[in-house]
Amino acid sequence: NENIPGKRYKKQFHKAAVEKFFDQVVNVLQENCEKLGINFIAVCGPGFAKEHFAEHFHSYQNSKEKNIEIRVINASSGELSAIYEILRNGSLAALKSDFKLAQDEMIMAKFIEHLGKDNGTAVYGLDQTALSAQMGAVEDLLICDILLRSAVPKQREKIEDTLNATEATRGNVHILSTMNPAGEQLQSYGQIAAILRYKVEL
């Protein structure tokens, strides 16, 4: 618990205490985000403290070249009840939806960029993607949600092997919804694709 002087207690002391408190919170968040693989944080509460903390957190992220997203949500209190409040009113769900949409767009753009380089670090279609995963070359695996739902048994087994091989070699799995533009675009590449760590002979 950090004791922060009131705003009347010399402005510079109050500001220094707030920044020290923010630093402590950022360090705890960063440690736990890295440990648990978290890349999205929502800060809720009344007033403007949450915005100030978000700015402080963004500054830290930029200085350390981290990529954890942080968003602010208005709530009527700064107590535990605020968490239940934003869960009930749908604010958090809306933010998560927007964040997922942005993530899908970014990873699809990254795939197209690698494909355009024509250096063998982007593959698509189940056969090439599965083989690349078995060779441990997949850094990012992109797959349409519709493929996971509609694959025939033999195809599903190959998809599961590809997912397992990607995760076993510390690759990232991205499931893209075909209800969104990025997922629609992925459909034209066989509904499954990958960004590779290095070129492989297929």
- Please, which residues have CB within 8 angstroms of residue 55's CB and are 6 or more apart in sequence? none
Residues 120/111, Cβ–Cβ less than 8 Å: no
Q: pLDDT tens for residues 58-93?
A: 887 776 666 788 888 888 888 888 888 887 888 777
Q: Do domains 11-89 and 100-196 have the same CATH topology?
A: no
Q: Is the pLDDT of residue 128 over 60?
A: yes
pLDDT classification of 12: cutoffs 50, 70, 90: low
The per-residue pLDDT for 4 is 52
Given CATH 3.30.420.40, say whether it is the number of domain 100-196. no
Q: pLDDT tens for residues 18-72?
A: 888 898 988 898 888 888 777 788 888 888 888 999 898 888 777 666 678 888 8
- One DSSP character per residue, 86-146 reads HHHHTHHHHHHHHHHHHHHHHHHHHHHHHHHHTSS-EEESHHHHHHHHHTT-EEEEEEEHH
Q: Is the pLDDT of residue 137 over 90?
A: yes
Q: Is the pLDDT of residue 1 over 70?
A: no
> What are the distances in angstroms from CA 100 to CA 96, 103, 106, 169?
6, 5, 10, 24
pLDDT classification of 132: cutoffs 50, 70, 90: very high
Residue 72's SS3 state is strand
- Domain ranges across the chain: 11-89, 100-196
CATH fold of the domain at 11-89: Nucleotidyltransferase; domain 5 (3.30.420)
- Please, which residues have CB within 8 angstroms of residue 185's CB and are 6 or more apart in sequence? 108
Q: Average model confidence (pLDDT) for the chain?
A: 86
Q: pLDDT tens for residues 86-124?
A: 878 887 777 777 778 888 998 999 999 999 999 999 999
Q: pLDDT tens for residues 149-183?
A: 888 888 999 999 999 999 999 999 999 999 889 99
